[in-house]
């Protein structure tokens, strides 16, 4: 799946996929670091559009609690509640960044 892709640090991931979209580096790096910590796979070659509900579904199949643990970690890190509906919409890292960004903006 990740064959031929360059390994990226969390900061490089931000630069490549989010720096021109108005999201803060801190937000993206914190989210990416949570995924790196909670998922038992090397995600350094992940793109912002890789879909955890289709081509990366094997990650959730490998560890059935990883998705729940990731959501809980996001809630704790950003001090917010993610609804079941929002959780279902979080299929890519881009989705997660957009939803978390909107929620943190609404709380200011």
53-94 pLDDT, tens digit per residue, is 888 776 766 666 778 889 999 999 999 999 999 999 999 999
Q: How far apart are the first and last CA of the chain?
A: 39
Task: Give me the pLDDT at residue 100, please.
Answer: 97
Task: Give me the pLDDT at residue 89, please.
Answer: 93
Task: Give me the pLDDT at residue 63, please.
Answer: 63
Mean pLDDT, residues 16-33: 95
Domain ranges (residues) in the chain: 10-106
Going along the chain, which residue ranges are E strands?
none
Residue 77 sits at φ, ψ, to 5 deg, of -60, -40
Please tell me the distance from the alpha carbon of residue 18 to that of residue 34, in angstroms, as a whole number: 17
Contact 51, 1 (CB under 8 A): no
- CATH of 10-106, picked from 1.10.1200.10, 2.60.40.10, 1.20.1530.20, 2.130.10.10, is 1.10.1200.10
């Amino acid at each position: 799946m990740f064959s031929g892709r360059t390994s990226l640090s969390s900061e490089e991931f931000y630069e490549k996929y989010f720096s021109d979209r108005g999201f803060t580096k801190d937000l993206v790096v914190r989210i990416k670091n949570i995924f790196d910590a909670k998922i038992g796979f090397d995600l350094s070659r992940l793109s912002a559009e890789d879909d955890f509900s289709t081509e990366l579904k094997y990650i959730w199949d490998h560890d059935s609690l990883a998705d729940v643990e990731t959501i809980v970690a996001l809630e704790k890190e950003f001090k917010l509640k993610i609804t079941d509906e929002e959780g279902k919409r979080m299929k890519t890292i881009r989705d997660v960044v957009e939803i978390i960004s909107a929620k943190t903006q609404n709380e200011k």
